[in-house]
Amino acid sequence: MQTTNVICPGCSEPFAPRRRDQRWCSQGCKSKARRVTALAPHKSCASCQATYAPIRSDQRFCSKACKDAHHGAQFRARGGKARLSPAARERQRLYWQSKNRRRRAAKRGGASEAYTLASIAERDRFRCQLCGGRVAMKQVVPHAKAPTVDHVVPVSEGGDDTRANVQLAHFRCNSVKGPRGSQQLALVG
């Protein structure tokens, strides 16, 4: 059999077919061609409005450059500001704090339950449980009097992440205490 090069319809590269009925250079090109024909024949790019053959069903742009240009234009249209409002950023920060506390407790085999800094502060009457001083609830870490959640028995020593094992503390007091228990703090201070 004489070998003549054929153009692959998937990648447009010439190849020498091994069989008489072989149309694609590889199984990857054949699969890609099937996916493209299963999708809408052509779509319009959301950025430049050019028509293109999508590779995925959820594809909206003809190229990465168009996608980046489109998202950059949206960002500039919002004035170049962050996507989240300050309240949403604070909610997100508190969510990740609680998730990390639960993860650390689970990693050590301890129990965990849902609670918020506000509920612990209200329970402890907005007083630091280490020094007895008033906690400045509007301050944020790293301010010395900012509110933090302190574990009575540290999670690193097998303590649980439950309401019964946490207390309100100033950021400075909690930092000085470190990973020691309250009993050990009394011996040190």
For residue 174, what are the β-bridge partners?
A: none
For the chain, which residues make up each domain, given as ranges? 6-77, 115-188
Summarised one tens digit per residue, pLDDT across range 142-175 is 899 999 999 998 888 888 899 999 999 999 999 9
pLDDT given for residue 189 in this prediction: 45
Strand intervals (E) in 66-188 = 147-151, 166-170
Q: Which residue has the higher pLDDT, 39 or 85?
A: 85
**pTM, to two decimals:** 0.51
Summarised one tens digit per residue, pLDDT across range 49-97 is 888 888 777 888 888 888 888 877 666 666 666 577 788 888 888 889 8
Closest by CA position to 182, among listed 172, 171, 167? 167
Residue 96 main-chain phi, psi, to 5 deg: -70, -35
Task: Decide yes or no: CATH 1.10.287 for domain 115-188.
Answer: no
Q: Which residue has the higher pLDDT, 131 or 85?
A: 131
Chain position carrying tokens 């995925």: 56
Closest by CA position to 50, among listed 39, 42, 58, 40? 42
